[in-house]
């Protein structure tokens, strides 16, 4: 009986699952077909490492604290999850005039396109936006 309960938790990780997302009609192949971004889920372990990388020392009411830099975290999460296009590709970085691959999407996408991509990255990783959580809270 205990083993059957344990089996319910012996499931493969969702990390590595990929999905294609059309972020914009602007990105087309030679035949004029919109090109999808390929995004991938990451593990919670990888997420923790990203978050740790993005913690900044702050002093709040005289107390030193490590706070998450949301903008940096968002950029690192996107870089970790976007597999195509390869944001680390030197030609892509050069085209958009950036040295750091973290800055490619900010130059490449409009605000709305970035929001579409962010929403899809959040969903593939099982996260909900603040608006979705607020809506659920209001409806419960």
The pTM (predicted TM-score) of the whole model is 0.82
Q: Report residue 140's pLDDT band, with 50, 70 and 90 as the boundaries.
A: low
Q: Report residue 131's pLDDT band, with 50, 70 and 90 as the boundaries.
A: low
Both tokens assigned to 98: 């950036």
pLDDT tens profile 4-24: 788 888 888 888 899 999 999
pLDDT for the residue numbered 87: 97
pLDDT tens profile 53-101: 999 998 888 998 899 999 999 999 999 999 999 999 999 999 999 999 9
């Amino acid at each position: 009986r205990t083993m059957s309960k344990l089996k319910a938790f012996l499931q493969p990780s969702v990390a590595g699952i990929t999905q294609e997302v059309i972020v914009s009609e602007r990105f087309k192949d030679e035949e004029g077909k919109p090109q999808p971004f390929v995004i991938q889920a990451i593990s919670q372990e990888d997420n923790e490492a990203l978050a740790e990388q993005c913690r900044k020392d702050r002093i709040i009411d005289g107390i030193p604290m490590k706070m998450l830099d949301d903008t940096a975290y968002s950029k690192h999460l996107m870089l970790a999850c976007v597999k195509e296009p390869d944001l680390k590709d030197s030609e892509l970085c050069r085209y958009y005039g950036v040295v750091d691959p973290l800055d490619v999407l900010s130059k490449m996408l409009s605000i709305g396109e970035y929001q579409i991509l962010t929403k899809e990255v959040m969903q593939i990783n099982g996260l909900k936006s603040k608006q979705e959580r607020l809506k659920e809270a209001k409806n419960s």
